[in-house]
Amino acid sequence: MDWSQGGYGFYVWGAYLFALLAIGGEVLALTRRRKQILEQRKSAGEITKGRSNETTS
Amino acid sequence: MNLYKYASPANFYPLAGKIIPWFAIPAAVLFAVGLYVGFFVAPTDAQQGDVYRIMFIHVPAAWMGMFLYVLMAIYAGVGWAFNARLSSMMATSISVTGASFTFLSLITGAFWGKPTWGTWWVWDARMTSTLILLFLYVGFISLQASIDDPRRADRAGAVLALVGVINVPIIYYSVQWWNTLHQGATIRILNKPTIAPKMLAALLIMLAACWLYSVAVVLVRLRYIILEREQNAARFAEVIA
């Protein structure tokens, strides 16, 4: 494979770099969203636990 | 087997979790194979040289942008008409991936346009209608985000999605209806393709990879939307953990 793409390397690799950013960015955003949800669930669980302790004491 | 039970977000959530790897892993494999065929097997184009290899990401991105919009409109319409929550959630999930592919098609098109046409952008029918498609996606996402009540947001989004679907045939036929700088369709359903078989193989493999990837990420996002929206989501906490 000719890495310079016949002199069009900037355009070809530029286009694929944006593709990588779009796909990688979407996957990364989903991973961060998962983390956020897990943290929210965790804190919500702690609050519920705290409230149940309050009512029982 | 009663398939209707999967119309419920609570029942669809674990099913989606099981399905995702069946799309994500083949997508990764096909992306690798498609890029290999596209860069190492497909010959250099006699007219455009190697710059035509942008086609292997540009064309699948453009097709996915249009296809996902139609799919989003169908799900949004079904969700609105039948008050089906999962269908509306699916439309919301599809919108982000569709917008991403449409944006990618415009960017890669600009990278292809500069060396072949001498300009990054022209206001021709194909490009302008694709830009409108991106605005429709952004409008759908923004509209849904701006309304607090998810059911009202779904209904408002459905109206926009259904009205905007008229833009998809305009994009597809723009190169036939108007005299555009953008080239006509190389591959048509009824006619024989006009590109070399190795180039076509790379293109179709990349298209399959983009399709599989879309299904996987849409399902992952759908699971998060279900978790965020469903009030009794506590029962899912164990599943996601």
Residues of B in contact with A32 (CB under 8 A): none
Listed residue (B62, B173, B171, B55) closest to B115, CA to CA: B55
Which pLDDT belongs to residue A57? 41
Structure tokens at B16: 């989606």
Q: What distance separates the 2 farthest-apart alpha carbons in chain A?
A: 77
Among candidates B39, B97, B228 on the partner chain, residue whose Cβ is nearest the Cβ of A37: B228
Query: What is the predicted ipTM?
Result: 0.87
Which pLDDT belongs to residue A56? 47
Which pLDDT belongs to residue B193? 72
For all residues of chain A together, what is the average pLDDT?
84
CB contact set of B108 (below 8 Å; sequence gap of 6+): A15, A18, A19, B54, B57, B58, B61
Q: Across residues B59-70, what is the average pLDDT?
A: 97
Asked whether the predicted pLDDT for residue B240 surpasses 70, the reply is: no
DSSP B102-140: HHHHHHHHHHHHHHHHS-S----HHHHHHHHHHHHHHHH
B1–chain A nearest CA distance, Å: 31
Secondary structure of residue A57 in the 3-state scheme: coil
Asked whether the predicted pLDDT for residue B133 surpasses 80, the reply is: yes
Listed residue (B231, B185, B226) closest to B92, CA to CA: B226
Is B41 near chain A, with CB under 8 Å? no
B49–A7: do the CB atoms touch at under 8 Å? Answer: yes
Q: Across residues B155-163, what is the average pLDDT?
A: 96
Structure tokens at B130: 């694709």
Which pLDDT belongs to residue B7? 80
Q: Which residue of B100, B219, B223, B238 to mutate against A (max A Cβ within 10 Å)?
A: B100
Contact B63, B133 (CB under 8 A): no
A22–B240: do the CB atoms touch at under 8 Å? Answer: no
Which pLDDT belongs to residue A50? 65
Residues of A in contact with B240 (CB under 8 A): 34, 37-38, 41
Rg (CA), chain A: 24
Q: Which residue of B104, B120, B207 to mutate against A (max A Cβ within 10 Å)?
A: B104
Q: Find the length of chain B.
A: 241
B112–A15: do the CB atoms touch at under 8 Å? Answer: yes
Which pLDDT belongs to residue A42? 81
Residues of B in contact with A11 (CB under 8 A): 51, 54, 111-112, 114-115
- Per-residue pLDDT of B164-177, as tens digits, reads 999 999 999 988 88
- Per-residue pLDDT of A1-57, as tens digits, reads 788 898 899 999 999 999 999 999 999 999 999 999 888 878 877 666 666 555 544
Is B14 near chain A, with CB under 8 Å? no
A6–B44: do the CB atoms touch at under 8 Å? Answer: yes
